[in-house]
Amino acid sequence: MPSPLADPVKLPCGLVLPNRLSKAAMAEMMAKTNHPTDPLLDAYSQWSEGGWGSILTGNVQVDVNHMGSPFDPALHTEYKGATTDSALVSSWKKYADAAQKHGTPAIVQICHPGRQSFRVAGYRGMFAQTLAPSAVPVKIGDGLIERIVASLVWSQPKEMTNADIERVIRQFVDTARLMADAGFSGVQLHGAHGYLIDQFLNSKTNLRTDAYGGTPAKRAKFVLDILTETRKVVPATFCIGIKLNSADHSSKTFEETMTQIALLAEAGIDFMEISGGTYEDPKMMGHAKTDAETTELPKSARTAAREAFFLEFSKEVRKRHPDLVLMLTGGFRTRAGAESAILDEACDLVGIGRPAAVDPKFPLLLLDESVTEGNAGMQLNKAPIPWYTRFLPLHLAGAGAESTYYVDQIRRFAKGLATIGPPL
C-alpha cells in the first residue's frame, strides 16, 4: 500500500507539491559574499535529486546590514525590478534553477534577525544597535557568565521607529519580488526562532502601544502588512508561507497566539510551518531550557513516544483551522513517525532537517515501498559539544554544536564527500 507521504498537496495559490516530504530550512553558512555561491548551488543541486515534495532554503536575509549569520545570502540594496537589476536576477536564477532542476518546488525562507543579529554579522558595524519592536535585549540566563556572553554576542537593540518598520516591510517585499522574478516557487516568512517577525508577535519582546503593539492583533500587523504588500507584487501562483513558533509562548498567552494564527489564515497564507525555540531557548535544535518558566501545551503519553517536537500544538491549530495547510518540523527521523503525524491529521507536510543534511536523498528511502518499516529511517545522536564551548550555558552550546555539525555535513555532500550522522 502506498505511503500517505507520497500524496501530492495543492496549496491555495495553486502550487502543487508532488509529495508531503519537505526539506526543512537549515543554516548552510556557504554564502561568504552574501550572494548565492557555487558551493551553495552545489548543495541545492544535490537536494534537487532527492525526491522531495518541496525544498525550503536556509535563511535569505532581507537586509545585508542585519544578518542572522555572517554567511547568509542577503538583499544588498533596494530591488528595482527585473529589467533594472537584470544581473542580480540572473545570479539568483542560477540558485532557483539548481534547486528546482528536477521539478521540485523551491521556497525561499526570508528573514530579518532583529535583535538576534550577531555583532559580527552584517555590514552595520560591531557596535551599531540591532533593530527590534522594543528595546528588550537578548537574555540567555541570569548568571554572570550568561550576561557577559550575551553582551559580547549581541548589541543593545533599538526600538524601531515607524520609518524603520516601513523600510523593513519594503525589504521583505523587495526580497520576495526578487525571488519570484528569479523563478523560485515561493517564499516563507520566518516568523519563528526569535527573529524579527516573531519579536513583533510575542508580548515578551513587543512592548509597544502604537499600531504595532498592545494587543495580539496589533502585534500581528507587522507580518500582515508584509503579507498584504507582497501579494501585490508577485504572481498569484507564487506561494507565501510562514514559519511560526509554538514553543516559546506560555499557556497564559496561548489564546493570543491562536488569535494571530486566525488572522494569518484569514489573510490567505498558503501554508504554515509549526516550529519553536529562540536563541534564548533553542527547542528547534532539541536543546531546551529546563527552568520552570517555560510552559507548553500538556503532552500526552502518545506524543512523548513520537518523533515530532511540536505535535500537540499543530493538532490544536488543525482543529481550529481544518483548511489551513500545515507543515510540522522538528524531530522526524522515520517513515513511521512521519506517517503517524499525517494519519493523525496533525499536519499536511512533514519537514525534515538534520536527516536531509546527512542524506540529501532521504525521501527516496522513506518512499521506497521495498524498504521495510524498521529500515525506513535514520537514527541520529546529539552532536558532540566541543570542549572550548563548555563555559557557555548548556542549551546554547548544545544548539550551536548541532548547527555546526550539520552545516559541515551539507558542505561535505556539496563537495561530493561522504557524510555521517553523530555517532550513537
pLDDT bucket at 308, cuts 50 / 70 / 90: low
Of 413, 363, 337, 17, the C-alpha closest to 188 is 17
Could you give the CA distance from residue 194 to residue 206 in angstroms, rounded to a whole number? 12
Q: Which helix (H) or strand (E) holds 188?
A: strand 186-191
Cα–Cα distances in angstroms (integers) from residue 262 to residues 215, 257, 329, in the given order: 14, 9, 20
Confidence of residue 296 (pLDDT cuts 50, 70, 90): very low
Confidence band, pLDDT 50/70/90 cuts, at residue 328 = very high
> For the chain, how many residues are written?
424
Q: Please give the residue that has the higher pLDDT: either 305 or 176.
A: 176
Portion of the chain with pLDDT greater than 70, in percent: 87
The answer to whether residues 272 and 241 touch, using CB atoms and an 8 Å cutoff, is: yes
Work out the pLDDT band at 285, boundaries 50, 70, 90: very low
- Kind plus residue range of the DSSP H or E element containing 177: helix 162-182
Instruction: Return the pLDDT at 143.
Output: 84
Q: Which helix (H) or strand (E) segment is 214 a member of?
A: none
C-alpha to C-alpha distances, 195 to 63, 103, 128, 279, nearest whole angstrom: 13, 31, 18, 9
Span 233-247, pLDDT tens digits: 999 999 999 999 885
Percent of the chain beyond pLDDT 90? 76
Q: For position 409, what pLDDT does the model report?
A: 97
Cell numbers 500526552: residue: 300
Q: What is the pLDDT of residues 250-272, one digit of tens each?
A: 667 889 999 999 999 999 999 99
Query: How far is C-alpha 131 from the geometric centre of its chain's CA atoms?
Result: 19
Determine contact, residues 133/222, Cβ cutoff 8 Å: yes
Report the C-alpha gap between 332 and 341 in whole angstroms. 10
Least confident of 29-33, 257-261, 280-284, 311-315: 280-284
- List strand residue ranges (DSSP E) for 238-382, in order: 239-245, 271-275, 326-329, 349-352
CA distances to 60, 74, 263 from 259, rounded to whole Å, are: 28, 31, 6
Q: Is the pLDDT of residue 27 over 60?
A: yes
Average pLDDT over residues 323-336: 94
**DSSP assignment, residue 114?**
G
The pLDDT score that the predictor gives to residue 403 is 86
CA 108 to each of CA 54, 184, 195, 335: distance values in angstroms, whole numbers, following the listed order: 11, 7, 16, 26
Q: What is the pLDDT of residue 293?
A: 34
Check residue 299 and give its pLDDT.
Answer: 46
pLDDT beyond 90 at 345: yes
pLDDT score for 303: 40
- The residues, any chain, with a CB within 8 Å of residue 79's CB and separated by 6 or more, are 85, 88, 174, 175, 177, 178
For residue 271 the three cell numbers come to 501554508
Between strands 106-111 and 186-191, the pairing is parallel
pLDDT band of residue 384 (cuts 50, 70, 90) is confident
Q: Residue 180 above 50 pLDDT?
A: yes
Phi and psi for 35 in degrees, rounded to 5? -120, 160
Q: What is the pLDDT of residue 148?
A: 87
pLDDT-derived band at 310 (thresholds 50, 70, 90) equals: confident
Residues 137-150 have pLDDT tens digits of 998 888 888 888 88
Residue appearing with cell numbers 512521519: 338
Report which DSSP code applies to 313. H
Residue 417 pLDDT greater than 50, yes or no: yes
Beta bridge partners of 349: 327
Q: Using one digit for the tens of pLDDT, what is the confidence trace for 350-365?
A: 999 999 999 999 999 9
Using pLDDT thresholds of 50, 70 and 90, give the confidence band for residue 292: very low
Across the chain, what does the average pLDDT equal? 89
pLDDT on residue 250: 63
As a whole number, mean pLDDT of residues 89-117 equals: 97
Residue 288 host element (H or E): none
pLDDT of residue 302: 45
Q: Report pLDDT for 74.
A: 98
Query: pLDDT per residue over 64-88, tens digit each?
Result: 999 999 999 999 999 999 999 999 9
- Under the banding of pLDDT at 50, 70 and 90, the label for residue 394 is low
Question: What domains can you pick out in the chain, each with its CATH number?
Answer: 4-414 (3.20.20.70)
199, 115 in Cβ contact below 8 A? yes
pLDDT in tens, 150-175: 898 999 999 999 999 999 999 999 99
* Spacing of C-alpha 304 from chain mean position: 23
pLDDT band at 312 (very low <50, low <70, confident <90, very high): confident
The CA-atom distances, in angstroms, between 133 and each of 130, 161, 198 are 10, 8, 10
Query: First-to-last CA distance in the chain?
Result: 32
